[in-house]
């Protein structure tokens, strides 16, 4: 099976403006040269601390933000080759600069579920209108037919006919998130960005949402980009995981490999910081000194070198590239 | 005194049959119903529970700060004071409470951003805690430092003026003369010079203890200039400024990243040893509970359903809700287990055991009778009809 999305050297900078004339005085390098592919049908986990650019990356991939440079390849049929290089043929899939009608058509296939359903659902709209909106915007269905399809999708996410004529505030957090999921699914997309979809709900509800994601993926053939800072959840749900630090992907591997054998010093520190729900567990914790530097002015060379205990001279000079050290395990570090 | 008998010698705090209700338009929300807790000196008690389980309300009520429209409808909160006497916090006057809060019991809140005032510098906010509870100590230090100045021959008008003012302040903080002098334009400034200097030194020392880099600069910065982790360190500094006997931590790391959370947990653990405070740590994260607490109380819909030492609780959870909570932790490879149903509406809680509609082991008895917190083995208490228990009701601490 092929891939569905690929990012090639993708960058997204936000300008910092200042002075009387609002001139650009710098850039916040939220995503700074990221290359990876997401295989069709998999759950691609993306972890990192707040401010490392994971949400920006997710939004740029589905063109809610315009990339500053780099390419995004997307194939709704999910048949991109595994190692896409920018060639003649790939231009058909290049969506990094599509506009207008073409972009709107693409939106059917790429959807997003946001972190907090209380803010991503319009409090003045009925559930049936919220969920039907993508259909109306895309011109896929309207009126009775739209309502019929809304009902179908609501049942899929565990809601029922009686919920159609209610407002978002009448639901609990977990149910609201189900409405947001229904809205994302109604156009039968192929690729969904899940941006911390469970961080605003309770533990007992979280598990049922994760179950729902897995079930929908199986039944509807979805591919997920699952963004989270909850590492144990990422480990449980993902097929492959990428670790981000300050706008860069530092490591990609399958979750078991990544958790048992993290290679990048940042990944090691990050994973050692997870509280283990076992009071007798003994392990060595690597406590990172300080805080992540500002993405407006990232350190030279490897961005982690000022906090890295293995840092050598080369680390501050040269930026490491993502290399495959074991089959399927990529790391960007001069140690390997 | 009779109360002395109730609190065993190593106990710091006991919450007994606490009932808190909120009077809302939708009805009476029975937020905390007959909650029982106890805390030993120097111990960390973790309280876990979902949203609406009453854990935060319990913590606020320990400070007699039940948010309106909430009202305490019954129960007692016995607290061993600094001077050794034992008081029921719910019976103290507002004046006594002001002296208690921040000095003997203090609190760390979930959102450091909301707990700090954006209009004052970090230094001003830490100084407030120090000046309102440790003024005499600070005055003594200021006077001592001034006397040294005099010895070194630096005696001038300002030194004499400050010495007079501080002695006056010690004798009678509300003296009319002092208030008058403070209003004078330049003299008012001179008077507070040494005191401010002494307090500032104390704050810098405190911030250094919180492992804040470059504390001299941080003292003069505003909260928005600091990251979430640094802000939370400031909140902890304010809470620990007066070396409290009891520290209430209400989800202090929920809004932080894991790496910062690890730093803060590590800090709290080390500070606890240094300050010797007892801690009540509230969270919904079982991982954090496992790391930080000595004993754990599990709350569900306003009831304390299980209390046990942390290792025992994770090894041998008894209450079906505790079991479900532990199974809901995502683990790789395993299927996710969610708890069917939702947290009940506390306006109309289910009769009997409040967990019975979601409980796989529910019996007819569960619908009718509220289970009491019973002792099943040493130190392990559970409120469930599945377990017989050794003695009824009384949840007595260590002995």
Same domain, B101 and B249: yes
What is the rounded average pLDDT for all residues in chain A? 88
Question: B96: which 2 tokens?
Answer: 């006594």
- Cβ-based neighbour number of residue B164 at 10 Å: 14
The number of angstroms, rounded, from the C-alpha of A88 to the middle of its chain's C-alpha atoms is 28
Q: Is the peptide bond before B69 cis (omega within 30 degrees of 0)?
A: yes
Q: Which 8-state DSSP code applies to residue A80? A: B
CA distance B16 to B245: 19
Q: Which residue has the higher pLDDT, B387 or A167?
A: A167
For the stretch A187-215, pLDDT in tens is 999 999 999 888 878 777 888 888 899 99
Do the chains contact at A235 and B330, CB–CB below 8 Å? yes
pLDDT of residue A87: 56
Total number of domains constituting chain B: 2
The verdict on B200 and B252 lying in the same domain is: no
Note whether B138 and B63 are same-domain residues: no
- For A275, which of B290, B324, B333 is closest by C-beta distance? B290
B17 with B76, same domain: the answer is: yes
Backbone phi and psi for residue A335, each to the nearest 5 degrees, phi listed first? -70, -25
pLDDT of residue A18: 81
Q: Tell whether B311 is within 8 A of chain A (Cβ).
A: yes
User: CA B386, B388, B394, B396: dihedral to nearest 10 degrees?
Assistant: -100
Beta carbons within 10 angstroms of residue A35's beta carbon: 17
Whether residue B271 is contained in a domain is answered as yes
If asked whether residues B211 and B134 sit together in one domain, one would say yes
Q: Which of B257, B261, B339 sits opposite A204 (nearest CB)?
A: B339
Q: What pLDDT does A292 receive?
A: 77
Rounded to 5°, the CA angle A265-A299-A235 comes to: 35
**Distance separating alpha carbons of residues B260 and A289, to the nearest angstrom:** 9
For B136, list phi and psi in degrees, rounded to 5: -55, -45
Domains in chain A: boundaries: 3-109+189-331
Tell how strand A3-18 and strand A23-39 pair up: antiparallel
pLDDT of A213-255, one tens digit each? 999 999 999 999 999 888 888 888 899 999 999 999 999 999 9
CATH number at residue B17: 3.40.50.300
Same domain, B254 and B168: no
Mean pLDDT of A285-301: 81
- State in words which class domain A3-109+189-331 has: alpha beta
Cβ–Cβ under 8 Å, residues B39 and B13: yes
Q: The pTM is what?
A: 0.84
Instruction: Tell me: do B189 and B133 sit in the same domain.
Output: yes
Q: Examine the domain organization and report whether B59 and B150 are in the same domain.
A: no
Q: Quick check: A246 contacting B, CB < 8 Å?
A: no
Q: In terms of Cα–Cα distance, which of B270, B375, B384 is closest to B312?
A: B375
Best mutation target, B327, B330, B341, to test chain A (most A CBs within 10 A):
B330
Q: What is the DSSP string of B125-163?
A: HHHHHHHHHSHHHHHHHHHHHHHHHHHTT---HHHHHHH
Give a yes or no: residue B376 inside a domain.
no
Is residue B381 assigned to a domain?
Answer: no
**Distance of alpha carbon A244 from alpha carbon A34, whole angstroms:** 10
Task: Tell me whether residue B344 is in a domain.
Answer: no
Q: Within an 8 Å CB–CB cutoff, is residue B288 touching chain A?
A: yes
Q: What pLDDT does A271 receive?
A: 86
- Averaged confidence pLDDT in chain B: 86
Query: Would you say residue B315 lies in a domain?
Result: no
Q: What percent of chain B has pLDDT over 70?
A: 95
Q: State the CB neighbour count (10 A cutoff) for residue A234.
A: 24
Which structure tokens are listed for B386? 């599945």
Domain coverage including residue B136: 122-218
Residues B131 and B188 in one domain: yes
pLDDT higher at B296 or B169: B296
Confidence band for B395, pLDDT divided at 50, 70 and 90: very low
What is the least distance, in Å, from the CA of B399 to any CA of chain A? Answer: 24
Domain finish residue from B269, B296, B323:
B296
pLDDT tens track for B192-207: 888 899 999 999 999 9
Tell me if residue A36 falls in helix, strand or coil: strand
What pLDDT was estimated at residue B335? 66
Strand-strand pairing, B295-300 and B303-309: antiparallel
pLDDT reading at B390 higher than 60: no
B24 & B171 share domain: no
Q: Strands across the sheet with B86-88, in order? A: B27-40, B11-24, B70-80, B86-88
Mean pLDDT of A170-179: 89
Which A residues 162-181 touch B at CB under 8 Å?
A: 172-174
- Per residue in B310-322, pLDDT tens? 999 999 999 999 9
Instruction: Look at residue B393 and tell me if it is in a domain.
Output: no
Do B113 and B126 lie in one domain? The reply is no
**pLDDT confidence tier of residue B116, bands split at 50, 70 and 90:** very high
Dihedral of alpha carbons B257, B259, B261, B267, sign: negative
B218 interface with A at CB cutoff 8 Å: no
Place B158 in a pLDDT band, splitting at 50, 70 and 90: confident
Which pLDDT does position B393 carry in this prediction?
A: 44
Please give the pLDDT value at position A227: 94
- What φ, ψ does residue A103 adopt, rounded to 5°? -65, -40
Using a CB-CB distance cutoff of 8 angstroms, which residues of chain A are in contact with residue B332? 235-236, 255-256, 259
| Mean of pLDDT values over A283-298 | 78
Q: List, for residues B311-367, the tens digit of each pLDDT value.
A: 999 999 999 999 988 888 877 666 667 777 777 888 888 888 999 988 888 888 899
Q: Does A231 touch chain B (CB under 8 A)?
A: yes
On whether both B97 and B8 belong to a single domain, the answer is yes
Q: Does residue B15 sit within a domain? A: yes
Do strands B295-300 and B44-48 pair parallel, antiparallel, or not at all (unpaired)? parallel
Q: How confident is the model at residue B53 (pLDDT cuts 50, 70, 90)?
A: confident
At residue A30, φ and ψ (nearest 5 deg) are -70, -45
What is the spatial distance between Cα A163 and Cα A151, in angstroms, rounded to a whole number?
Answer: 9
């Amino acid at each position: 099976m092929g891939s569905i999305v690929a990012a090639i050297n993708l960058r997204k900078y936000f300008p910092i403006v200042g002075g009387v004339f609002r001139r650009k005085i710098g850039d916040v390098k939220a995503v700074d040269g990221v290359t990876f592919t997401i295989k069709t049908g998999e759950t691609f986990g993306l972890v990192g601390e707040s401010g490392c650019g994971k949400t920006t990356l997710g939004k740029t991939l589905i063109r809610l933000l315009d990339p500053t440079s780099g390419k995004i390849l997307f194939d709704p049929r999910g048949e991109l080759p595994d190692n896409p290089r920018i060639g003649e043929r790939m231009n058909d899939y290049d969506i990094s600069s599509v506009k207008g009608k073409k972009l709107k058509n693409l939106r059917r296939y790429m959807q997003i579920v946001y972190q907090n359903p209380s803010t991503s659902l319009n409090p003045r709209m009925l559930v049936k209108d919220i969920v039907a909106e993508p259909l109306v915007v895309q011109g896929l269905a309207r009126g009775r037919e739209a309502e019929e399809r809304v009902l179908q999708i609501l049942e899929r996410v565990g809601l029922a006919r009686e919920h159609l004529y209610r407002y978002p505030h009448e639901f609990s957090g977990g149910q609201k998130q189900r409405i947001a999921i229904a809205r994302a699914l109604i156009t039968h997309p192929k690729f969904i960005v899940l941006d911390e979809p469970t961080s605003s709900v309770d533990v007992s509800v979280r598990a049922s949402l994760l179950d729902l994601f897995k079930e929908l993926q199986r039944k509807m053939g979805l591919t997920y980009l699952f963004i989270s800072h909850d590492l144990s959840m990422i480990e449980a749900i993902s097929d492959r995981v990428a670790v981000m630090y300050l706008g860069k992907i530092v490591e990609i591997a399958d979750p078991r490999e990544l958790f048992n054998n993290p290679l990048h010093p940042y990944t090691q520190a990050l994973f050692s910081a997870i509280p283990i729900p076992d009071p007798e567990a003994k392990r060595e914790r690597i406590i990172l000194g300080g805080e992540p530097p500002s993405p407006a002015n990232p350190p030279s060379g490897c961005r982690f070198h000022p906090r890295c205990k293995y840092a050598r001279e080369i680390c501050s000079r040269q930026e490491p590239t993502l290399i495959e050290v074991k089959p399927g395990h990529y790391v960007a570090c001069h140690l390997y | 005194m009779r109360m002395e008998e109730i609190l065993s010698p190593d106990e710091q705090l006991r919450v007994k049959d606490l009932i808190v209700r909120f009077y809302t338009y939708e009805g009476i929300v029975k937020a905390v119903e007959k909650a029982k807790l106890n805390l030993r000196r120097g111990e960390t008690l973790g309280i876990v529970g979902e949203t609406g389980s009453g854990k935060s309300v319990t913590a606020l009520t320990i400070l007699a700060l039940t948010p309106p429209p909430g009202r305490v409808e019954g129960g007692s909160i016995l607290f061993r004071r600094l001077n050794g006497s034992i008081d029921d916090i719910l019976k103290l006057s507002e004046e006594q409470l002001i002296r208690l809060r921040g000095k003997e019991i203090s609190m760390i809140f979930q959102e450091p951003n909301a707990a700090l005032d954006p209009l004052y510098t970090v230094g001003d906010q830490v100084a407030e805690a120090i000046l309102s509870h440790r003024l005499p100590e600070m005055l003594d230090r200021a006077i001592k430092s001034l006397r040294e100045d005099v010895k070194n021959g630096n005696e001038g008008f300002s030194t004499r003026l400050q010495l007079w003012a501080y002695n006056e302040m010690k004798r009678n903080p509300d003296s009319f003369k002092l208030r008058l002098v403070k209003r004078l334009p330049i003299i008012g400034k001179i008077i507070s010079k040494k005191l401010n200097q002494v307090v500032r030194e104390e704050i810098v020392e405190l911030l250094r203890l919180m492992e804040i880099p470059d504390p001299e600069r941080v003292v003069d910065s505003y909260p928005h200039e600091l990251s979430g982790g640094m802000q939370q360190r400031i909140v902890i500094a304010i809470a620990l400024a007066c070396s409290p006997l009891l520290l209430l931590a209400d989800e202090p790391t929920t809004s932080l990243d894991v790496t910062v959370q690890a730093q803060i947990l590590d800090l709290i653990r080390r500070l606890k040893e240094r300050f010797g405070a007892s801690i009540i740590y509230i969270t919904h994260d079982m991982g954090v509970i496992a790391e930080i607490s000595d004993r754990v109380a599990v709350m569900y819909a306003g009831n304390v359903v299980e209390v046990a030492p942390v290792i025992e609780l994770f090894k041998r959870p008894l209450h079906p809700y505790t079991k479900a909570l532990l199974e809901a932790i995502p683990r790789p490879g395993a299927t996710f287990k969610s708890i069917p149903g939702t947290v009940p509406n506390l306006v109309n809680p289910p009769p009997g055991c409040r967990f019975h509609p979601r409980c796989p082991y529910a019996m007819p008895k569960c619908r009718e009778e509220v289970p009491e917190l019973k002792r099943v083995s040493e130190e392990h208490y559970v409120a469930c009809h599945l377990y017989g228990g050794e003695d009824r009701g009384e949840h007595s601490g260590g002995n």
